C-alpha cells in the first residue's frame, strides 16, 4: 500500500510540529546537498524555525555572502543599508545640551553666577543646602558614635586585662611567701633566686598597693624586665621539709 497523502496545512500540535520540522529540515538539507554536488549548482539555503533558530546551507565552493550578492545583482534588489550616523549625531547633540544644562545648574551650588538667580530660587537653594548640611552632620555624628563605641569596648578589654594582671601579682606573691616558708634554709643560689623574685614582687606591690584604677596604669608603669609571665617558680624541697 502506498503512503497516504498528508494535507498541507499548519500542524496545530506544537510537539508534532517540532518533530515534523526536524525531520523535513534534515531531508531538505540532504536533497540540497545532493543537488549542489550532482549538478554543480551554487545553492544558498536559509531557514528560520518558528522559535527563531537559524539553520543554513551553502555550497562547498561558495560563500553565503557571495550568493546573496549575486542574487541582488541578478534581481536588482538591494538590501537597504541602515545608515545610523544621523541618529548618532542627533543623540550627541541632545547629550551635549543636557550636559551643558546640568553644568549650569550646578554652578549655583558652588556659589558661581548668582546674579541671574531670582529671590525665590535663592531661597529654595538655601533650603536645599541646609538639608544637605544636616545630612552630612548626621552622618558625621554616626561615624563619631561608632568610633566612641569601639573605644569603649577597647577600654573594657583593657580594664579586664588590668584586673587579671593585678590578681596574678597577688597570687604569685602569696605563692612565693609560701615557698620561702617551705624551703627554709635553701642553697645560696636558690636563696638568691628567691630574693630576685621577691624583689620583683615587692616592686610591683609598691607600684600597686591596691588594685589599679586606671586601665593604662599597669601597662605604663610595669618595667619590661618584670613582665609577670617571665616568672618561673621553683618547686618546694619536700625532702628538706620532712627532716
Is 56 strand, coil or helix? strand
pTM: 0.34
Residues 6+ away with beta carbon under 8 Å from 121: 108
Q: What is the pLDDT along the chain (243 residues), one digit of tens a residue?
A: 556 677 788 888 888 889 999 999 999 999 999 999 999 899 999 999 888 889 999 998 888 988 988 888 888 877 666 667 888 888 999 999 999 888 877 877 777 777 777 888 888 888 888 999 999 999 999 999 999 999 999 999 999 998 888 888 888 878 777 777 776 544 444 555 556 666 666 665 555 444 444 434 444 444 444 444 444 444 444 444 443
Q: Residue 173 — left, alpha, or beta (φ > 0 → left; ψ -120 to 50 → alpha)?
A: alpha
The rounded distance, in Å, linking the Cα atoms of 152 and 1 is: 98
CA 95 to chain centre: 33
Summarised one tens digit per residue, pLDDT across range 173-225 is: 787 777 777 765 444 445 555 566 666 666 655 554 444 444 344 444 444 44
Amino acid at each position: 500500500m502506498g503512503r497516504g497523502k498528508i494535507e498541507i496545512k499548519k500542524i496545530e500540535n506544537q510537539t508534532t510540529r517540532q518533530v515534523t520540522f526536524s525531520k523535513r529540515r534534515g531531508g531538505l538539507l540532504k536533497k540540497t546537498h545532493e543537488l549542489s554536488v550532482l549538478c554543480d549548482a551554487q545553492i544558498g539555503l536559509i531557514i528560520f524555525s518558528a522559535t527563531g533558530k537559524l539553520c543554513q546551507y551553502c555550497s562547498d565552493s561558495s560563500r553565503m555572502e557571495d550568493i546573496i550578492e549575486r542574487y541582488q545583482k541578478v534581481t536588482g534588489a538591494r538590501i537597504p543599508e541602515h545608515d545610523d550616523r544621523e541618529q548618532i549625531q542627533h543623540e550627541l547633540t541632545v547629550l551635549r545640551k543636557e550636559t551643558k544644562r546640568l553644568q549650569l545648574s550646578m554652578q549655583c551650588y558652588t556659589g558661581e553666577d548668582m546674579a541671574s538667580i531670582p529671590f525665590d530660587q535663592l531661597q529654595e537653594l538655601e533650603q536645599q543646602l541646609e538639608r544637605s548640611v544636616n545630612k552630612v552632620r548626621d552622618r558625621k555624628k554616626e561615624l563619631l558614635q561608632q568610633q566612641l563605641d569601639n573605644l569603649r569596648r577597647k577600654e573594657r578589654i583593657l580594664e579586664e586585662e588590668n584586673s587579671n594582671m593585678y590578681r596574678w601579682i597577688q597570687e604569685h606573691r602569696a605563692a612565693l611567701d609560701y615557698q620561702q616558708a617551705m624551703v627554709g634554709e635553701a642553697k645560696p643560689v636558690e636563696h638568691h633566686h628567691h630574693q630576685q623574685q621577691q624583689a620583683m614582687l615587692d616592686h610591683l606591690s609598691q607600684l600597686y598597693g591596691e588594685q589599679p584604677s586606671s586601665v593604662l596604669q599597669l601597662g605604663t608603669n610595669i618595667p619590661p624586665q618584670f613582665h609577670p609571665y617571665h616568672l618561673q617558680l621553683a618547686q618546694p624541697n619536700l625532702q628538706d621539709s620532712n627532716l
